[in-house]
């Protein structure tokens, strides 16, 4: 599984996200997902929303996925001044 494939699947599951997917071995992945749909949603539920976009790939082609999920406002605070 390639990072671009995972990124595309995650992007398709949200209205207007910012998604970055990284991997050193194309088995263990790290994703940063910024989406308005995360507003008012607890961290675990945010991760579940991301996992839902990937379906059965998680645990199969995607052995491990680390997720950092932010609302646009949280991301702006996290990123700091431009």
Structurally, how many domains does the chain consist of?
Answer: 1
Please tell me the pTM assigned to this model: 0.92
Tens-level pLDDT at each residue, the chain (82 residues): 899 999 999 999 999 999 999 999 988 999 999 999 999 999 999 999 999 999 999 888 898 999 999 999 999 998 766 5
User: What's the first-to-final CA gap in the chain, in angstroms?
Assistant: 33
What pLDDT, on the 0 to 100 scale, is given for residue 61?
86
What pLDDT, on the 0 to 100 scale, is given for residue 79?
73
What pLDDT, on the 0 to 100 scale, is given for residue 81?
64
In terms of residue numbers, what domain contains 61?
3-79
CATH number for 40: 3.30.300.90
């Amino acid at each position: 599984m390639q990072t671009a494939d995972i990124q595309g699947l995650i992007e398709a599951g949200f209205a207007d996200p910012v998604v970055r997917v990284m991997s050193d071995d194309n088995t263990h992945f790290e994703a940063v997902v910024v989406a308005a749909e995360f507003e008012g949603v607890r961290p675990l539920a945010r991760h579940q929303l991301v996992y839902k976009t990937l379906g059965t790939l998680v645990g199969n082609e995607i052995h491990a996925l680390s997720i950092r999920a932010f609302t646009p406002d949280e991301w702006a605070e996290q990123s700091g001044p431009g």
